[in-house]
Structure 1
Amino acid sequence: MKRQSSYAADGGKLYLVPTPIGNLEDITLRAKRILSEADYIACEDTRTSGILLEKIGVKNRLLSFHKYNSKQKAPELVEMMQQGAVIAEISDAGMPVISDPGYILVQAAIAADIPVVPLPGASAFATALIASGFDAQPFTYYGFLPRKASEQRPYFEQMAQARATSIFYESPHRLTKTLNNLAQVLPADRQITAARELTKIHEEFIRGSISEVTQYFAENQPRGEFVILISPNTETVAINWADLCQQVDELVTGGMSKKDAIKQIAKAHAVSKNELYDAYHQQKEQ
Structure 2
Amino acid sequence: MQQQSSYANEQGKLYLVPTPIGNLEDITIRAKNILSQADYIAAEDTRTSGILLEKLGIHNQMISFHKYNSKQRAPELIELMQKGATIAEISDAGMPVISDPGFVLVQECIKNDIPVVPLPGPSAFATALIASGFDAQPFTYYGFIPRKNSEQKEFLQEIKLSHATSIFYEAPHRLVKTLKVMQECLGGNRQIVAARELTKIHEEFVRGSVDELVDHFTQTAPRGEFVILVSPNEDEPEQLSWEELVKLVDQEVVRGISKKDAIKQVAKVNRVSKNELYDHYHQD
Match of 1:182 in 2: 182
The 5 A counterparts of 1:18-37 are 18-37=18-37
1:24-63 CA distance string (max 9 Å, x none): 1110111001111110000011111010011122221100
SS at match of 1:92: coil
Contact 1:241 1:279 in 2 (8 A): no
Q: Which amino acid aligns with 2:58?
A: V
Percent identity over the alignment is 64
**Secondary structure of 1:185's match?**
helix
2-structure distance, mates of 1:244, 1:26: 51
Matching residue of 1:250: none
Secondary structure of 1:269's counterpart equals: helix
Q: Which residue of 1 aligns with 2:136?
A: 136
Aligned partner of residue 107 in structure 2, secondary structure: helix
For residues 80 and 243 of structure 1, what CA distance do their matches in structure 2 show?
57
With structure 2 as the length reference, what TM-score do the two structures score? 0.84
In structure 2, distance between residues paired with 1:123 and 1:272: 32
Task: Write the distance in 2 (CA, Å) between the matches of 1:279 and 1:150.
Answer: 29
The aligned residue for residue 65 of structure 1 is 65
Q: Report the alpha carbon displacement of residue 239 of structure 1 after superposing the two structures with TM.
A: 2.3
Secondary structure (helix, strand or coil) at the match of 1:74 reads helix
**1:1-286 to 2 correspondences below 5 Å:** 11-240=11-240, 242-243=242-243, 264=264, 268-269=268-269, 271=271
- Aligned in 2, Cα 1:185/1:68: closer, same or farther, shift over 3 Å? same
Q: Deviations over 1:71-90 (max 9, x none)?
A: 10001100110110100000
User: 1:137-165, CA deviations, whole angstroms, 9 ceiling, x for partnerless residues?
Assistant: 11111101221111111111100110001
Q: Distance in 2 between matches of 1:105 and 1:225?
A: 26
The CA distance in 1 between the partners of 2:270 and 2:87, in whole Å, is 40
Amino acid at match of 2:115: P
Q: Is the 8 A contact 1:162 1:270 kept in 2?
A: no
Q: CA deviation at 1:70?
A: 0.5
Q: Please give the alpha-carbon distance, in whole angstroms, between the structure 1 residues aligned to 2:40 and 2:276.
A: 52
Cα distance in 1, alignment partners of residues 244 and 106 from structure 2: 37
Q: Shift in Å at residue 246 of structure 1? A: 7.0
Letter of the structure 2 residue corresponding to residue 136 of structure 1: A
Distance 1:135 1:278 in 2: 28
Normalising by structure 1, what TM-score? 0.84
Residue 279 (structure 1) shift: 11
CA distance in 2, matches of 1:214, 1:245: 35
Q: Give the gaps of 5 or more residues in structure 1.
A: 1-9, 248-259, 281-286
- Structure 2 unaligned spans of 5+: 1-9, 248-259, 279-284
Q: Would you say how many aligned residue pairs link Structure 1 and Structure 2?
A: 258
Change (3 A) 1:86 1:155: same
